[in-house]
Structure 1
Amino acid sequence: MSSNRDVAKLSLIQLLPNMLTVTAICAGLTAIRFGLQGNYELAVQLILLAAILDGLDGRLARALGSDSKMGAELDSLADFLNFGVAPGMLLYVWALDDTRSLGWLAVLVYAVCAVTRLARFNVARKTDGESAENAYFMGIPSPAGAILVMLPMYVSFAMDREPILPDALLSIYIAGIGLLMIGRFPVWSFKTTQISQRRVKMFLVGFAAIGAAIAIYTWVALAILSVIYIAAVVWMLPGSRRAMAKDRKPPADG
């Protein structure tokens, strides 16, 4: 009998999803650093990079068959840092540090809403077990919340101006986005969207156009896309409620 124990080994490819998650954590932490140093544009870009990586790691793990409980917990912790802590901290040092209590209260509300959303999702996942991806989220997903909460920054960067919103209104906006993340309303998820073969070419052309717009007119494009997303959520809300009622499957928290 061999004294060497059989130890399961993972290839580097199978570790790639967790590597992406760790990279996203580093991006979120570095965003806070650059925000404290006053390099706000780079800080926002790093949070956006973390959101892209968040969209890739889970799907890649399932595609490679390397998803694990550790990976799921790591992803959840990364989401709180990147989308619950970093955006609020960035907005505070950018425009609200002179408001003291009011601005910090808004940041706390936003962060608590983000962590509450993630806790709700983790409890549901452990209680109900792993389930197929749903066509709807319950409330605004945390990566979308992080992107939307930075909308005032996109507008200010595009106009090359100081913060355009009064401190009180900006604080209300930050807290409001946080409340939308824990809302009990269905939000359409792009994860289950399917494109017919006849429309693939048009989809790719549109995707290329959006990518080029973001690369060339970064802040204007991000501001427009954020407004379109908010409008789409409001416009599709009645249909989402009817579809959810027919499906009777609880929306994912994501």
Structure 2
Amino acid sequence: MRRQLPVRGIPLRAFAPNAITALALCSGLTGIRFAIGGEWERAVLMVLLAGVLDGLDGRVARLVRGESKFGAELDSLSDAISFGVSPALILYLWSLLTEPRIGWIVSLVYAVFTALRLARFNARIDVADQPHKSAGFLTGIPAPAGAGLAMLPLYIWIWSGEDLFRSPWLVAPWVAFVAFLMVSSLATYSWSSLKLRPNIRFEAIVGVVIVAAALVSAAWETLTAVCVAYLVTLPFSIRSYARVRRLREAAAQRP
């Protein structure tokens, strides 16, 4: 009689990061639910929560050595919905619905461009020749940052109450611009390219504490400032990568 081997279950270390990714997906979808009910602040918070969870799942997977191909595919699907479909529908229901033709086109463009950016990232993940990645930069802005930037008019509208920022003729060009930034070839900073000098570590910790306190006391104004600060870094990241590329070209020309 042949002895049957015991059936082994899925290790917990492989389950934990996938569960966090699933929570991020649920959070993004819940943002759509709140937008349908006109609860704009909760809708935005759900997308932001999805961004926080998206930043945690990869780190948890590497920490517990729970990376898997299934997890990578689930993460891409979650990002496409949470940072593509959900912000597009929230902004459409909040502003672009008043101009349904152009508004729906812009919403589709944003959602599709988010999916294209994620597809490009997945297609090139095993490519050895990636100049931006090897220098510590990203190609275009990442999907979570794109979602946060796309909702910038909504942040300003919440804390200012000015209906100008709800105008579809202002929101539509802005959303299209952010969609372009996601699929562009611009070099943008990544966490790996940002390095603190040893003599300013204390100041950096103080800055993080101040931002955290500002988010608690004046969340929407702080989110607006963070978005503006991120936009300000784009010219510097482009210039930094251009300098790195010149140095590489000079080194390649040496005998």
CA contact (8 A) 1:27 1:50 kept: yes
SS at match of 1:67: coil
1:87 aligns with 2:87: yes
Question: 1:2-43 CA distances to partner (integer Å, 9 max, x unpaired)?
Answer: 3124535402x4422111101100100100000011000001
Cα distance, 1:100 vs. partner? 0.7
% identical equivalent positions:
34
Cα distance, 1:201 vs. partner? 2.3
Quick one: distance in 2 between partners of 1:56 and 1:163? 36
- The one-letter amino acid paired with 1:86 is S
Quick one: distance in 2 between partners of 1:247 and 1:53? 36
Cα distance, 1:98 vs. partner? 1.7
Aligned partner of 2:205 in structure 1 is: 204
CA contact (8 A) 1:135 1:188 kept: yes
SS at match of 2:138: strand
- The one-letter amino acid paired with 2:191 is F
1:97 aligns with 2:97: yes
Aligned partner of 1:181 in structure 2 is: 182
Cα distance, 1:60 vs. partner? 1.5
Aligned partner of 1:107 in structure 2 is: 107
Quick one: distance in 2 between partners of 1:55 and 1:5? 36
SS at match of 1:107: helix
Aligned partner of 1:243 in structure 2 is: 244
SS at match of 1:29: helix
Greater radius of gyration (CA): 2
1:18 aligns with 2:32: no
Aligned partner of 1:251 in structure 2 is: none
Q: TM-score, normalised by structure 2?
A: 0.89
CA contact (8 A) 2:140 2:183 kept: yes
Quick one: distance in 2 between partners of 1:186 and 1:93? 32
Quick one: distance in 1 between partners of 2:245 and 2:21? 31
Quickly say closer, same or farther: Cα 1:34–1:186, change in 2 above 3 A. Answer: same
Cα distance, 1:75 vs. partner? 0.5
Quick one: distance in 2 between partners of 1:6 and 1:128? 38
Quick one: distance in 1 between partners of 2:128 and 2:6? 34
CA contact (8 A) 1:89 1:107 kept: yes
- The one-letter amino acid paired with 1:17 is P
CA contact (8 A) 1:95 1:163 kept: no
1:36 aligns with 2:36: yes
CA contact (8 A) 1:113 1:182 kept: yes
- The one-letter amino acid paired with 1:16 is A
Gaps in structure 1 of 5+ consecutive residues? 249-254
Aligned partner of 1:125 in structure 2 is: 125
CA contact (8 A) 2:24 2:54 kept: yes
Question: 1:33-80 CA distances to partner (integer Å, 9 max, x unpaired)?
Answer: 000110000010110011111111112111211111001010000100
Quickly say closer, same or farther: Cα 1:228–1:201, change in 2 above 3 A. Answer: same
Aligned partner of 1:223 in structure 2 is: 224
SS at match of 2:188: strand
Q: TM-score, normalised by structure 1?
A: 0.89
Quickly say closer, same or farther: Cα 1:31–1:165, change in 2 above 3 A. Answer: closer
1:148 aligns with 2:170: no
Aligned partner of 1:252 in structure 2 is: none
State the Cα RMSD in Å: 2.1
Aligned partner of 2:52 in structure 1 is: 52
Quickly say closer, same or farther: Cα 1:71–1:7, change in 2 above 3 A. Answer: same
Quick one: distance in 2 between partners of 1:106 and 1:155? 20
Quick one: distance in 1 between partners of 2:239 and 2:201? 28
Gaps in structure 2 of 5+ consecutive residues? 250-255
